[in-house]
Structure 1
């Protein structure tokens, strides 16, 4: 059995990975992988000495282990997992008070696994997450990342851009746009299944439009047909609040509200780049019209308590005895008869870490 195991693993390594001593790998790496192989096959032997199927399965696991360690992340379904069922479960369990966001994220991303297998062309997915601080935009993006890519936020297929870090000089928007365009073209040529996140989009909408509009034109859209673009910003948060209060005043309940209720709250982004960016009122709005608008609503007390319980579950921490104290640490502001968390759940998360760790 031992000789058979050794033969199977050697054959699969050569056939599947083209790895051998000539590859220049260190002796310590080979020793580590050999140890893993031995352990895996010992378990297979214990389960059933006469089962060649179990042996092959075990050998396949070893091959995957070696490929992962030597080749790193690759553009295939082993690394781009597109776990849409897990995405749905986590969003519904953890993204508190944002039923509109959950609906639109799932509607757009729910077919990713099927699309990954399909060879037909798709439109790139363009999301615009907008709303106040602490309402869950970044958290929702993190949930998406964790369920689309095996490596999560450390995946080489996830790219985050922010104006302060990547585009600090406000006089260089046109130069930045050219560089960004070339970078994106190169990245999708290596693997089209990428997620591009533009944080603080309100402050760089001109730059992003200059870079992306030519890439997403009909003549080139196929190159980016399997990519996801996520634009996040706080633009329109005051209008979201005033719209929400008006709807509440008219007797609407929160769970009946839709994205259309807040369509005007977003306000213009294309061509209005904030006080600290140069702007061009003549920028075409074609790109913006293709956004899936996802408003994030201000959180009420019940939603903050939901955040607390959700975060406690993730930390495997019991917080019942601290719940009142932690909730009181959140600053609530009153608008007529309704109270909303000034900064959502951000401060709560810090308080919870102090309690649980």
Structure 2
């Protein structure tokens, strides 16, 4: 009897049951069956398409155009006193992502004293590569003292590092790897990733040419500061400094410095670092800019007088000239708390 009652269902209701419950086509006429199957097929195809899926889950958009205009706006708005770093990073990333077939991954090595903007600029790059920024599953941060703390486990770390990079680039060619505290990294460990930075089309079926590697280090800060101080003593503006004034000094200094993370590294020896990006020491006026930006971030009106008072709370060097903040802008937000 149940079967007889089912056979008398109107075709419209049967189609609804088909779509929502069982997917059964036994109660449909041949033409209706064809329509239902075609509709279901089209719907299945749409639901399983990357375009639909990527609305609800993060996707690796390897061919998504890079918005250099947005990156430039972020750098100009958020990074102060770093005309060289801003220009180099903008041109390097724009050129790299504009090339549909790069010969190797992009490798940037950022150097300068703490608080000058190295970590901040890495975050800006991450934000411009993927909407989730540093929270993206395609962006990977390694901190030397956290991920590689023991000198006795160097070989284990090398194996893990290679496995991690290989696995993540296999999932997404446009991956970003950030290595922080390079000056605290055991010498020789970074050479484990040398094959992935070299000029290979594929390694074991995996292409690394669209990946980006960024190294952050305080090493080289002394060399940079010395050069900026020389410019000042010669009556030149820091804005007159060019990359050629610092790049060769940095590469040689890092290669011969046991505390750089790049001591006798094949990455430098084989010229696999594309740009050595110098971060200049920040002056009083730049610290004031940082305070103004922090005020705006907290929803306050910019106040130059207050910014100057907060900037005076920081210490400056050399002892006589007192030109540069010894911590950059790193403690600005805490100093500001004393006034708000």
The TM-score with structure 1 as length reference comes to 0.73
Whether 2:106 is the aligned partner of 1:76: answer no
For residues 13 and 312 of structure 1, the distance between their equivalents in structure 2, rounded to whole angstroms, comes to 50
Alpha-carbon displacement from aligned partner over 1:144-203 (angstroms, at most 9, x marks no partner):
111111111100011011111111111222221122112111111110101100001122
Q: Is 1:218 the equivalent of 2:248?
A: no
Paired residues, what number? 298
Partner of 1:229: 213
Q: CA RMSD in A?
A: 3.2
Q: How does 1:34-183 map to 2 (within 5 A)?
A: 64=52, 67-69=54-56, 72-76=57-61, 82-111=66-95, 114-115=98-99, 118=100, 120-183=101-164
From 13, 17, 27, give the equivalent of 2:47.
Answer: 17
How far did 1:270 drift? 4.5
Please tell me whether the aligned partners of residues 316 and 324 of structure 2 are also in contact (alpha carbons under 8 angstroms): yes
Say if 2:313 is the partner of 1:340. Answer: no
Q: In terms of Rg, which structure is larger?
A: 2
The equivalent residue for 2:18 is none
Provide the C-alpha distance between the structure 2 equivalents of 1:73 and 1:106, rounded to a whole number of angstroms. 25
Tell me, what secondary structure is at the counterpart of 2:223? helix
Structure 1 residues 317 and 82: CA distance shift in structure 2, 3 A: farther
Q: Deviations over 1:311-337 (max 9, x none)?
A: 333333224163233222222224554
The correspondence of residues 181-260 of structure 1 with structure 2, limited to 5 A, is 181-204=162-185, 206-220=187-201, 223-260=207-244
Displacement of 1:266:
5.3
Contact 1:271 1:280 in 2 (8 A): yes
Q: 1:271 to 1:339 in 2, by over 3 A?
A: closer
Residue in structure 2 matched with residue 35 of structure 1 by the alignment: none
| Per-residue deviation, residues 324-352 of structure 1 (Å, max 9, x unmatched) | 33222222224554511110101112234
TM-score computed with the length of structure 2 as normaliser = 0.77
Question: Whole-Å Cα distance in 2 between the matches of residues 13 and 207 of structure 1?
Answer: 54
Change (3 A) 1:12 1:304: farther
Structure 2 residue runs of 5 or longer lacking an equivalent are 1-38
1:281-333: per-residue Cα shift (whole Å, max 9, x none)?
58574355533010101000111111122233333322416323322222222
Shift of 1:210: 2.5
| Corresponding residue number in structure 2 for 1:317 | 300
Q: Which range moves more in the overlay, 285-294 or 256-265?
A: 285-294
SS at match of 1:313: helix
